[in-house]
Structure 1
Amino acid sequence: MATLSKQDIGKILARQGILIAFAFFIIGFTLANGRFLSPDNVMGVVRSSAILGVMALGVTFVVISGNLDLSVGSMMSFSTIVVLDLHDKIGPALAIPAMFAMTLCLGAFIGFLVGYLKLNSLIVTLGMLSAIHGLTLTYSGGKNMDIADKDGTWFDVFGQGTALGIPVPILMFLALAALLGIILAKTPFGRKVYAVGGNGTAATFSGIKRARTVFLCYLMSAGCVATAGLIQASRSLGSQNTVGQGLELEVLAAVILGGASLLGGSGTIFKTVIGVLILGFIQNGLLLVGLQFYVQFVVTWIIIILAVWLDIAAKRGKLWSNIA
């Protein structure tokens, strides 16, 4: 019988370490609380993860293209506040496309800076995080938003409705995941995204328009953020103007957990969905065992560090560097 060497074990941990750790988490949480894997709890976790998941789908394209987007949290706050404000002014039928148009303009601006001006994506999106937050506060006058007539609107269907017994947010998340999964895996644009992220210089010399590809990735990310903002606004029919604050790190954690490399060129939509669910179930499990919600921030940070370490380890084929 063949035995695994330390190097083989290291490769397995580097490539599947997150899933192995998640399996241990599931076992531990189930033993600690029998309600963890109950149908109601599982459905609740998936539903609560839908907003984060929708945002992560768009960021997956950005990360695979070799860039980052740290502006998605504040952009989601902006989308939510705008659609709630316009709902009472022009009605939901016009408020929704108007919000999408405004959010896509923000994504197009970021895509222009990173794609065509070739500015560093970390610096640009970190700056836009603050800029969009300021824009949101300016738009709202520093106030939270609520829909005046909450009982007389059909707008709540996106966040509170069900179809065939399944919450609409879950259906929207899965439908968008299926669509973007096909685009990434089966279309020429998807292959261009992988090429640009894997080796941007080689992609340019092979005739791929690198700037346009990066621009479109940020545009898709903004569209996903607008969808997440729509679900968030519809779910509560009101919102604080900081509702998306901090979500950028959770989104990035979910994408990296799904196997997308921060170095670009690798990742899939399906694995991002898995990463979103891993993060959602871990956070839910922490609450069920009695830990305070703020422990999630520490755990998220640990998960990001672990995921990045395993990503780098997978590239070099071992967990530890030769350099002490």
Structure 2
Amino acid sequence: MAELTKKSIGGFLAKQGILVAFLVFMVVFAIANPRFIDIDNISGVIRSSAILGVMALGVTFVVIGGNLDLSVGSMMSFSTIVVLDLHDKIGPALAIPGMFAMTLCLGAFIGFLVGYLKLNSLIVTLGMLSAIHGLTLTYSGGQNMDIADKQNTWFDFFGQGSMLGIPVPILIFALLAAGLSLVLSKTPFGRKVYAVGGNGTAATFSGIPRARVVFMTYILSSFCVATAGLIQASRSLGSQNTVGQGLELEVLAAVILGGASLLGGSGTVFKTVIGVLILGFIQNGLLLMGLAFYAQYVVTWVIIILAVWLDIAAKRGRLWSPIA
């Protein structure tokens, strides 16, 4: 009986280790500072994490498919600058679809290189990180972008508005997460993504169009980046041309923290959301504890490593690897 109970607990931890770690962090920070669990603070953290979270949802598909996408930070800068610029030139009604079309073209180009030409995703997206950054600076002329008439536009709805008392960025994040979770877990495309990431060669011999699946994961990732850029531009109605710089590493950290394997074939949208929230609440909790901002980076890194280690340990049933 005791052995059965131990196996049941071990099985639960193996599947939900990262969720347990998240709850532990929440309890510790709540004890350290009661303001941490204030409803306004929680809402504020989720709202500020929405942009990172939306980007992470798309990257989850790319990583599960066995690839990487380090271009999302620069691509988010590009989409933000483009939609702000087009807002004053052609109006928000045309600026939004125009920006999405341009961002999707970038995603399609990356998907073509990685999927159809079978180039290494790390090299391609690392190169595109610099290329898109240069494209953004060229497009903006090296200048930051601001909407001229900030008082008379409905464009701020996506970043500053609310529905039923819930901030719109949170609603966008939640709805997109729910929809993509269904796509990944309940559709043939989702199963193909897992198959390609788990064993690309076997997937090809099984009749799965590997190149097309990889291509579509990058299209999906660029769509999520464009959505994040829309929220960012709408929230501030202006932006620096480097607003997304460095976000690619935070996005990847959230996806990996959520349990997705860099080798591909594993991961879920739900756990990516948990990974995003862990990062957001860790930073917020450390801030409320009065920790200096430069020390927060170190502590955040330690907590991330600890959470991932405990998650892996729960899956293999021991803290240390049996292989010396």
User: Which interval holds the TM-score relative to the shorter structure?
Assistant: over 0.9
| Alpha-carbon separation, structure 2, partners of 1:241 and 1:295 | 27
Cross-structure match for 1:289: 289
Cross-structure match for 1:234: 234
Q: Aligned partner of 1:61: which letter?
A: F
Alignment of 1:1-324 (within 5 A): 2=2, 16-303=16-303, 305-306=305-306, 309=309, 318-324=318-324
- Contact kept in structure 2, 1:67 and 1:122, CA below 8 Å: yes
Shift in CA distance, 142/301, structure 1 to aligned 2, threshold 3 Å: farther
Q: Aligned partner of 1:264: which letter?
A: G
1:22-65, CA deviations, whole angstroms, 9 ceiling, x for partnerless residues? 33322221122111001111111111111111101101100110
- Contact kept in structure 1, 2:158 and 2:235, CA below 8 Å: yes
Shift in CA distance, 75/298, structure 1 to aligned 2, threshold 3 Å: farther
The percent of aligned pairs where both chains have the same amino acid is 83
- Contact kept in structure 2, 1:261 and 1:311, CA below 8 Å: no
Q: Which runs of 5+ in 1 are unaligned?
A: none
| Alpha-carbon separation, structure 1, partners of 2:17 and 2:186 | 28
Q: Which runs of 5+ in 2 are unaligned?
A: none
SS of residue paired to 1:185: helix
Q: Aligned partner of 2:108: which letter?
A: A
| Alpha-carbon separation, structure 1, partners of 2:148 and 2:294 | 32
Deviation at 1:299, TM superposition (A): 4.0
RMSD over aligned Cα atoms = 2.3
More moved, 311-320 vs 94-103: 311-320
Q: Aligned partner of 1:225: which letter?
A: V
SS of residue paired to 2:36: coil
| Alpha-carbon separation, structure 2, partners of 1:202 and 1:22 | 36
Using the size of structure 2 for normalisation, the TM-score is 0.92
Deviation at 1:309, TM superposition (A): 4.7
Deviation at 1:100, TM superposition (A): 0.5
- Contact kept in structure 1, 2:22 and 2:274, CA below 8 Å: no
Equivalenced residue count is 324
| Alpha-carbon separation, structure 1, partners of 2:128 and 2:295 | 28
| Alpha-carbon separation, structure 2, partners of 1:256 and 1:151 | 41
Deviation at 1:256, TM superposition (A): 1.5
- Contact kept in structure 2, 1:256 and 1:304, CA below 8 Å: no
| Alpha-carbon separation, structure 1, partners of 2:186 and 2:7 | 35
